[in-house]
């Protein structure tokens, strides 16, 4: 019985250590959310089907230009977007995980950071794909 309780205690200590050392910080979150917002803006503002259905080949060119501007950061640099996110985020480091509450013009976001990943809710359309972190996802 003593071995089982020692093993359980060591397992809990290992899990706690893993949670502590993989707790993402505010910079990680700002980078993640800026990528998510850019993707949402591209989908909402630069819809290629909407442009091409309405304007044909000119619409396709406009859609490509719109996506290039948003992806290339010509409107705001990625660092500027991340600074805006940090300024509008209530960040709470809970040692084993972190919580984030962000208010942006695109929507309000709430997230939990754990194991170098983010579980995101909120925004204009919270979906199942919001829970994955691009920096650690293999499927993309």
pLDDT tens string 105-118: 767 899 999 999 99
Taking CA atoms, 12 is separated from 5, 19, 24, in Å, by 11, 10, 20
Mean pLDDT confidence for 119-126: 69
**Is the model more confident about 7 or about 68?**
7
Q: Above 50 in pLDDT, residue 124? A: yes
Q: In what order do the strands lie in the sheet with 98-104?
A: 89-93, 98-104, 107-114, 117-122
pLDDT tens for residues 13-56?
999 999 999 999 999 999 999 888 878 777 776 666 665 565 66
What's the pLDDT score for residue 14?
A: 96
What's the pLDDT score for residue 134?
A: 47
- Write the DSSP assignment of 73-120 as a string of letters: TSSS-HHHHHHHHHHTEEEEE-SS-EEEEEEETTEEEEEEEETTEEEE
What's the pLDDT score for residue 42?
A: 73
Domain boundaries, the chain: 2-131
Helix crossing, 57-72 with 26-45: angle to 10°? 170
Residue 123: which pLDDT band, with cuts at 50, 70 and 90?
low
The span from the CA of 70 to the CA of 77, in Å, is 9
The CA R_g of the chain, rounded to the nearest whole Å, is 20
What's the pLDDT score for residue 112?
A: 95
**First-to-final CA distance of the chain:** 46
To the question of pTM greater than 0.75 for the whole model, the response is no
Q: How does the average pLDDT of the chain come out, rounded?
A: 78
């Amino acid at each position: 019985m003593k071995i089982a309780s020692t093993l359980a205690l060591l397992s809990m200590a290992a899990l706690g250590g893993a949670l502590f050392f993989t707790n993402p910080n505010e910079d990680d979150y700002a980078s993640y959310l800026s990528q998510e917002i850019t993707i949402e803006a591209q989908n909402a503002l630069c819809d290629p089907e909407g442009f091409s259905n309405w304007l044909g080949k000119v619409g396709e060119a406009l859609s490509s230009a719109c996506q290039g501007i948003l992806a290339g950061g010509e409107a705001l640099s990625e660092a500027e977007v991340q600074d805006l996110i940090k300024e509008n985020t209530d960040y709470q480091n809970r040692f084993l995980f972190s919580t984030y509450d962000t208010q942006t013009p695109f929507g309000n976001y709430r997230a939990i950071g754990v194991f170098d990943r983010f579980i995101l809710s909120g925004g204009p359309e919270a979906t199942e794909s919001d829970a994955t972190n691009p920096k650690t996802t293999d499927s993309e």
